[in-house]
Structure 1
Amino acid sequence: MDLIDTHQHLILRDHLGYAWTDTLPALQGDFTPADYARLSHGKGVIGTVFMETGVDDADYQAEARLIAGLVGKGGMLGQIASCRPELDAGFDDWLAECKILSVAGFRRLLHVVPDEMSQPEGFRRNIRKIGAAGYTYDMVFHARQLGLAEALARACPDQPLVLDHCGNPDVAGQGFDAWYRGMQAMAALPHVWLKFSGITVNCAPGTASVALLQPYADAMLALFGPERMIWGGDWPVVNLGVGLPDWIDMSRALLAGLSADEQALIGHQNARKVYRLPA
């Protein structure tokens, strides 16, 4: 199964601030394209899409400008840039600038801000602008917030949306049932895609395994189907779970029951379609 990694983070501390990593020993230091290339060598990764890395607020535009210089190198096909839809001031200008920054989509982290942020009409109006400009929007919520994700998606019916990290089920807390109910509602919305990524971080330390996660993978496949799922590595955050090489191996095992054509949809074909990536 060839893979386009639609969730490749980088941590480049000489240029940008990452305060959220301060209390996470596994994420100290830099995480560079060369590091990623070493870890993914021989693993079937045929391209990547950079995903904004939650840099400090003052740096989110600087991050996108920096990454634009890396697109086209080392297999990077584009980037998903950060944005601030809660602020009207400068939003349109940022969308316009991103046309020259190899941007394939946008994301605003919503699982680490007040739940109310995504609810005002002004926020949703700006999300709709993203779709009107031809971009996808990635959503990241905790499983307990899937009602918020559904409300946002229903308010933006023409905006292509990607729900990151399998909807962040509370695997460690045995939260399958509540997560499943929320995912049923999300899967009922045809403009929502699901990113098959990030789930091992939600397991209790040292417990992530194919056996533990197979029921979650099977549920996602039943709800969204291979036609609406996209693979992502979530490196280096995946280091809080099993690490990138092991997540690649685990992904293949979790999806082993699919046909080669179905695996290709999740592995790389849907990514090209959703993010409008170059061939």
Structure 2
Amino acid sequence: MIIDAHQHFWQFDPVRDAWITEEMQTIRKDFLPEDLKPVLEKNGVDGCVAVQADQSETETDFLLQLANENDFIKGVVGWADLRGADIKSRLEHYSKFPLLKGFRHIVQGEPDKNFLLRDDFGNGIKALAEYDFTYDILVYPHQLPAVGEFVKKFHEQPLVIDHLAKPDFETGELKSWEQHIRNIARYKNVYCKLSGMVTEADLQNWEYEDFVPFLEVALEAFGPDRLMFGSDWPVCLLAAEYEEVIGIVRQFVGKLSASEQTQIMGGNAAEFYKLK
């Protein structure tokens, strides 16, 4: 089964979705399951994981409703305030929804580079384990030192790094990012998504070769059993069509064995998120 481990849905709201600026006209509109389904079918993808784009429980409920109505949405990564004093009661509530697999916070948008290490946030992460939820790590490279401490502290919590932690594909700066990624990958509970790459490169002039050095590091560090393909659709449309995005990963993993390709293109996502 081929699984897109990372995509989004929204009904565009210019106030709520202020991160989608005027320069991003391509994605300043609604993107719903009826838009994605034919794209997945065209590209031979069997299902997807819908990931939050807004930090609200309204967003979590919206994605769960879509998942209940569309069986190709195999799981949801939602949002709840992990810093909240009531986090256990919120997780108790969401544990009643089998399609909710985990949570994410948009840490890349937090001014505190050590946000992940806050005590109140850590309390929320601890609570995830009680309800068998995963956690998606969304950060920029300058936040990777904190990620290193974070994964060491929560070495039994299922964690996945989104978008390879957004390295600078445009300049090709590899050294610092690589050092941190290799350190983080030592913890076997941490997975990594091969996603969100084209929008961190030169949007109009990216080439496959821009990504290869970073993909090589990720493959060597995490191995084929802890990497997963994700499209980051529809955000990816700022730089590439879906078939181009999946083509990057398919071309890269083409040198691997059939079983390793199967793992990266869906098996690992199914295992990590416990998809049915």
- Residue type of the partner of 2:102? G
Trace 1:1-279 onto structure 2 (pairs within 5 A). Answer: 2-13=1-12, 17-23=16-22, 24-53=24-53, 55=54, 57=55, 60-72=56-68, 73-88=70-85, 90-101=86-97, 102-114=99-111, 115-278=113-276
> TM-score of the superposition, structure 1-length normalised?
0.92
SS of residue matched to 2:102: strand
- Residue type of the partner of 1:109? I
Report the Cα distance in structure 1 between the residues aligned to 2:210 and 2:250, rounded to whole angstroms: 15
Alignment check: 8 A CA contact 1:61 1:82 kept:
yes
SS of residue matched to 1:107: strand
Report the Cα distance in structure 2 between the residues aligned to 1:156 and 1:125, rounded to whole angstroms: 11
Alignment check: 8 A CA contact 1:40 1:245 kept:
no
CA deviation profile, 1:127-183 (whole Å, cap 9, x unmatched): 121122101100011112111111111111211100110121111132211111111
SS of residue matched to 1:69: helix
Q: Which runs of 4+ in 1 moved over 3 A?
A: none
SS of residue matched to 1:174: coil
Alignment check: 8 A CA contact 2:9 2:63 kept:
no
Gaps of 5+ in 1: none
SS of residue matched to 1:31: coil
Gaps of 5+ in 2: none
For residues 223 and 116 of structure 1, do their structure 2 counterparts lie closer, same or farther at Cα, with a shift above 3 Å needed? closer
Q: CA deviation at 1:217?
A: 1.3
Alignment check: 8 A CA contact 1:77 1:277 kept:
yes
Q: CA deviation at 1:97?
A: 1.6
Q: CA deviation at 1:74?
A: 4.5
> TM-score of the superposition, structure 2-length normalised?
0.93
CA deviation profile, 1:186-205 (whole Å, cap 9, x unmatched): 11111111111111111122
CA deviation profile, 1:230-279 (whole Å, cap 9, x unmatched): 1111111112232322101121111111111001011111111110111x
SS of residue matched to 1:268: helix
SS of residue matched to 1:227: coil
Alignment check: 8 A CA contact 1:226 1:266 kept:
yes
Task: Tell me the matched-pair count.
Answer: 272
- Residue type of the partner of 1:83? A
Alignment check: 8 A CA contact 1:168 1:202 kept:
yes
- Residue type of the partner of 1:20? W
